[in-house]
Amino acid sequence: MAGMVHILLFDIDGTLVLTGGAGGRAMTRAFEDLFQIADAFRGIPMPGRTDLVILTDAAARAGIALDPPRLTHFRERYCTYLSDEILIGGPRKGVMPGVRPLLDALQHRGDVILALLTGNYESAARIKLEHFDLWRHFTGGAYGDEGPDRNALVPVALRRIAALNAPPAEPASVVVIGDTPLDIACARSAGARAIAVATGSHSVDERAACQPDAVLPDLADTTAFLRLLDEWAGDVALK
């Protein structure tokens, strides 16, 4: 189909980068500052979930009501601490295998729009990706600021991209790339394709059980990734 555009919606944590626990440490510090409760996120699952849901779970367990001012104060305090914590080195921190060459290759294609779909607050997403010099690759997206339901984020991302006068995209050309079953569920809820990568806390088999359109061990094989896009473009053209 002539003029077909792929909209690629990338998750951040465990897909593009690992921050060495910077996000969790910053959240913990912010919560203790505001509510005088230490280690508030212990035992609360984080991968694949929005920052708002993670915060809501911690607050509910502590019996704290979250009104709009508290939500704003937490986000601001969290991002202040994240800017510090992201500078700390250590294991499990860095850009995931193949991400830089893949993003470079994708940016040279005229049929691709790179955007984000992440549970991170937008300001937190920017802090993380600017630290690794990746933010510049992306044209907007949808973030955890939008609300607790990650499954609602694909339409938000597409509306924002359309507002930038991007070429129209076929539904089957929207692809969510992530490392958790929740990323796959998010794609499925919007009728988008899903590429699962086994670079986070879930195995290849766990991701395959969620029936994504493709499962990759990581993003190191740029040729294989581009081949998938070309195959899917051919599928749409035949319909």
pLDDT digits (tens, 9 = 90+) for 179-200: 999 999 999 999 999 999 988 6
Pair (199, 163) in one structural domain = yes
Per-residue pLDDT of 3-59, as tens digits, reads: 578 999 999 999 999 999 999 999 999 999 999 999 999 999 998 899 999 999 999
Mean pLDDT of all residues in 61-86: 97
| Structure-block tokens of residue 201 | 């806390």
CA distance 195 to 91: 26
Same domain, 63 and 141: no
Tokens of residue 191, six digits:
């009728």
Q: What range defines the domain where residue 26 resides?
A: 22-85
Nearest to 212 by CA among 236, 235, 183, 238: 183
Residues 108 and 147 in one domain: yes
* Pair (14, 33) in one structural domain: no
pLDDT of residue 5: 85
Task: Give the domain-ending residue among 85, 101, 125.
Answer: 85
Q: How many whole angstroms separate alpha carbon 161 and alpha carbon 138?
A: 11
Measured CA to CA, the distance from residue 15 to residue 129 in angstroms comes to 12
Backbone φ and ψ of 216, nearest 5°: -120, 140
- Looking at residue 25, its pLDDT comes to 97
- Determine the pLDDT at residue 1: 40
The pLDDT of residue 2 is 47
What's the confidence (pLDDT) of residue 54? 96
Q: What pLDDT does residue 12 have?
A: 97
